[in-house]
Structure 1
Amino acid sequence: MKIHYIREFLLLASNKNFSKTADQLYMSQSTLSRHISSMEKELGVQLIDRSSYTFKLTPAGSIAVEGFQKVLNEYISALSELGTLSHKASGELRLGILYYDIHHYVADIRNTIRQHYPDVKLTLISHQPEQAEQALFDGEVDAILIYDAMPTFGDGISTYPFLKTPYYVLCSPDHHFIHKEIVLVSDLDGEVLLNPPSPFRISGTKHVVTSMFSENHVYPKEVISVTNFDEVPALLAENQAVFISNMVNPDIYLNSVAYRLLEPDRYQGRISVVWKTENPNPLIRLLVNAIKITYS
């Protein structure tokens, strides 16, 4: 049984709502439903009464909530204890983050560190994506949190992926995709596409988008470079363009941009923590441990 499936089920049982739970977990409802079904298949019992018009646990589901909560609590306690065995949990960790995610998964990780490692000073440094990578290479931060880190980037860089995220098609509110709930990759044929001017050194989102288009034989009408992500709403409106992203913050552009899921059952990205392998700061290991406590 996967620990993150247990965590998802417990959150769902607490919320009593698939949509709310999926949003909090940064995943699609279909993915959440598939995970719950996988648990039920493995356990051989039905956890949720799907015949009810409102959310309702089965008797087995109620028993599972109590038992799984104990399992999760013991798992978190063990991780916390193991994280402090090899060194005293104190000192400073400089963490580069994407400025628009401070109130989302970053806040969850920060709260875990404050709760389990109160003597650690966590310094958060906000960046645009490309700036975050450069700060890591320049030694200005110990680690960064970034989307779609390429595991084959090369020697000297370590990554730990921890959070799956669906891809979205971003467009202006008057774009014709506004009438779709889910956009297919094939729908993007002939569209104007916003894209970074060159691949990032670590983040592989542009490579993912290129592969999407290639394997589906989709060709954009035009590709417009975007170097500052704050410009995205204006560029979308001016060019009736689309922008593909798996950023988890739907409020970054407020009402100036519409978000539509891009085939969530086929394509998912990952948020990873990335650091230089040679970095001697022992708190990087503690950061990974805190992430496991938060999202495993």
Structure 2
Amino acid sequence: MEFKRLKYFVAVAEERHFGRAAARLDMAQPPLSRQISQLEKDLGVLLFDRSRSQIELTQAGEALFERAREILDRLDAAYREVRVIGTGGAGWLRIAFVGSATHGPLPNLIKSYRSHYPEVDLSLSAMNNAEQKRALIQREIDIAVARPSLDDEGFRGVLLHHEPLILAIPDNSPLNNDKPLRLKELRNETFVLYPNRPRPSFADHILETCRGEGFEPADIVPAQDYQTAISLVSVGVGLSLVPASVSSTQRAGVRYRTYTGNNPGTSLTVHARLDSRSPHVMNFFEIVKRYSRKSQLCR
């Protein structure tokens, strides 16, 4: 049975008049009458009692009328839902991010996306760069927020944020004073680096920063992620070079300080697969670009 004939039938059933139904459907009356007759023939029943001046539904017609309206209402709802999902206004989006990003612009970026697309279900998960790269390749996630970026010719990327490095030191450290801190004078300190693996990673970026000042740290304590590293700093294991944005969230036992010397900073980059044309991904990238432009204007 064609849905078009169901629509014709419902129009006639509601109007109880072929002429008015034809006008409502913007068609001539004879083709409408033929469509209804063909529907009755297909079903093998009479749907309308035409013996009176005003046509009436038969019992079979009443049953079909009730069911047909339900079917057409559901079909219309399905069309509306598909259109919304197809434009990225509903559905889901899977985002992975490095742990330190939660202290920077990522929360506001997520809030901005939610305000524009409140019906999209967001799945958020913390992953290091290597895990994000694998998950993007395997299509397990749609968006990756990496530090500083993911190197793969199959990915597109947009710079989200660039910020300086700062020192995280134990609050009971002798370095916790009002004297300026020079990076090259910290050569004998224990550096907490993360992640421990896979490499190269943010840890190697910090080592290169130290080499820019002409030294290698005297002692290194590896940690697998930012949260572990900052916990080690808080209990006095050593100091760490971290993104400046993490200082916005205070941690007991840790003091954040700026320093003088080599400071290449660190970036966050948003990635997706080049072959992903999902409207959800494209909408997210548009929010990222707006956010990035706004951030540059505020500097």
Task: Flag whether TM exceeds 0.5 (same fold).
Answer: yes
Q: Does 1:117 align with 2:117?
A: yes
Q: What is the percent sequence identity of the aligned residues?
A: 14
Q: How far 1:172 moved relative to its partner?
A: 0.7
2:165 pairs with 164, 167, 172, which one? 167
Are 1:112 and 1:293, in contact at CA under 8 Å, matched by a contact in 2?
no
Distance in 2, matches of 1:156 and 1:259, equals 38
Aligned residue type for 1:273: V
Question: 5 Å matches for 1:94-173?
Answer: 94-99=94-99, 101-102=101-102, 104-127=104-127, 131-149=131-149, 153-173=151-171
Aligned residue type for 1:195: L
Q: What is residue 93 of structure 2 aligned with on the other side?
A: 93
Are 1:180 and 1:260, in contact at CA under 8 Å, matched by a contact in 2?
no
Q: How far 1:163 moved relative to its partner?
A: 1.1
SS at match of 2:210: helix
The more displaced of 230-239 and 250-259 is 230-239
Q: How far 1:283 moved relative to its partner?
A: 2.1
Q: What is residue 257 of structure 1 aligned with on the other side?
A: 254
Q: How far 1:187 moved relative to its partner?
A: 2.3
1:230 pairs with 220, 227, 235, which one? 227
Distance in 1, matches of 2:264 and 2:100, equals 22
Q: How far 1:291 moved relative to its partner?
A: 1.3
Ranges of 4+ aligned residues in structure 1 off by more than 6 Å:
none
SS at match of 1:236: helix
Unpaired segments of 5 or more residues in structure 1? 1-83
Distance in 1, matches of 2:273 and 2:95, equals 12
Are 1:192 and 1:239, in contact at CA under 8 Å, matched by a contact in 2?
no
The number of equivalent residue pairs is 209
Aligned residue type for 1:223: I
Deviations 1:97-127 (CA, angstroms, capped at 9, x unpaired): 3456547522211222233334433332234
Q: What is residue 215 of structure 1 aligned with on the other side?
A: 212
TM-score where L is the length of structure 1: 0.59
Distance in 2, matches of 1:216 and 1:249, equals 23
2:188 pairs with 190, 193, 196, which one? 190
The more displaced of 206-215 and 93-102 is 93-102
Q: Does 1:177 align with 2:175?
A: yes
CA 1:131–1:88 in structure 2 vs 1: closer, same or farther (change >3 Å)? closer
Q: Does 1:283 align with 2:280?
A: yes
Aligned residue type for 1:235: L
Answer 1 or 2: higher relative contact order, Cα 8 Å, separation at least 6: 1
Are 2:194 and 2:226, in contact at CA under 8 Å, matched by a contact in 1?
no
Aligned residue type for 2:288: I
**In angstroms, what is the RMSD of aligned CA positions?**
3.3
TM-score where L is the length of structure 2: 0.58
Unpaired segments of 5 or more residues in structure 2? 1-83, 294-299
Distance in 2, matches of 1:177 and 1:142, equals 43
Query: Greater CA radius of gyration, 1 or 2?
Result: 2
Distance in 2, matches of 1:103 and 1:216, equals 27
